């Protein structure tokens, strides 16, 4: 429990993170700290390094140099302890994998289960509650590949909910998603962050950013700007990020 007056705990920290593919840097010298309770937008052009940064923060690719800490832990350990939830960009998922929606969500509970990995009542309840929260209970028996794009996004969000992760990394969760689902995702993320999690979310939906992100990180291989949305999400900074300033809402 956080004491009154003490700063929120540091959830996600990266120092001088550099990631290269075949010697070519895709992310260079990125440092950031996200405390508990923070919902941060990650913005940049196609190819700016957003997915690469999220994957390196989550420990899914090894950085060339620099360090990452999730709740003070190296990413691999944070993964094992189920602190980290990662919602990948849709194109990176093998949707033909034969697994039911309910089992995708149950994957979020494995770190908490006994050695036999046999779900207990508490695990089943967490899964049902998460499915209910994202309005997918009626599709729980379907193979994940038989869901629509927006329904799949909700299934991954349900897995993150069931997991009770403290750090959420989401790669374009709004792409191809209808407005009610966008609003549902935002509401759930807000609730999780209010309860002490932190979320970093890549998106091209610039209009929505000021409505729900309290922080923004602008990326073009290097970190261009990072801080409170009101200070960072400006026409001048977007011009630096995209080469042209989209009209802000």
Ligand X SMILES: Nc1ncnc2c1ncn2[C@@H]1O[C@H](COP(=O)(O)OP(=O)(O)OP(=O)(O)O)[C@@H](O)[C@H]1O
Residues that bind ligand X (CB under 6 A): 21, 26, 44, 46-52, 89
Q: Please, what is the Cα angle at 95 between 113 and 112, to 5 degrees?
A: 10
CB 102, min distance to ligand X, A = 29
Candidates 37, 51, 56, 182; binder of Mg ion (CB under 5 A) is: 51
Nearer Cβ to ligand X (129/220): 220
Q: How far is residue 135's CA from residue 221's CA, in Å, rounded to a whole number? A: 37
Q: Which of Mg ion, ligand X, none binds 52 (CB below 5-8 Å, type-dependent)? A: ligand X
CB 220, min distance to Mg ion, A = 13
CB 90, min distance to Mg ion, A = 10
CB 140, min distance to Mg ion, A = 29
Nearer Cβ to ligand X (3/46): 46
- How many CB atoms sit inside 10 A of residue 92's CB? 10
Cα 84 to Cα 132, 166, 182: the distances in Å are 21, 6, 21
Nearer Cβ to ligand X (42/136): 42
Number of alpha helices (DSSP H) and beta strands (DSSP E) in the chain: 9, 9
Count CA atoms within 13 Å of residue 133 on its CB side: 22
């Amino acid at each position: 429990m956080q004491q009154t007056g003490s700063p929120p705990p540091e959830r996600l920290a990266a120092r001088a993170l550099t990631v290269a593919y075949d010697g070519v840097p895709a992310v260079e010298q990125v440092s950031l700290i996200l405390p508990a309770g923070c919902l941060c937008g990650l913005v940049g052009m196609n190819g700016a390094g957003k997915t690469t940064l999220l994957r390196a923060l989550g420990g899914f690719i090894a950085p060339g140099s620099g360090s990452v800490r999730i709740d003070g832990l190296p990413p691999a350990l944070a993964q094992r302890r189920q602190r980290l939830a990662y919602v990948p960009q849709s194109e990176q998922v093998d949707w033909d994998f034969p697994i039911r929606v309910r089992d995708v969500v149950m994957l979020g509970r494995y770190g908490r289960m006994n050695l036999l990995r046999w779900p207990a009542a508490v695990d089943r309840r967490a899964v049902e509650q998460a499915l209910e929260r994202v309005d997918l209970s009626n599709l729980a028996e379907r193979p994940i590949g038989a869901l629509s794009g927006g329904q799949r996004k909700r299934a991954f969000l349900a897995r993150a909910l069931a997991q009770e992760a403290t750090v959420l990394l989401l790669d374009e969760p709004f792409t191809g998603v209808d407005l009610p689902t966008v609003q549902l995702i935002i509401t759930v993320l807000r609730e999780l962050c209010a309860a002490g999690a932190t979320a970093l979310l890549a998106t091209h939906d610039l209009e929505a950013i000021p409505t729900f992100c309290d922080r923004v990180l602008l990326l073009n291989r290097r970190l261009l700007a990072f801080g409170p949305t009101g200070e960072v999400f400006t026409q001048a900074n977007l011009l630096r990020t995209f080469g042209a300033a989209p009209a802000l809402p």
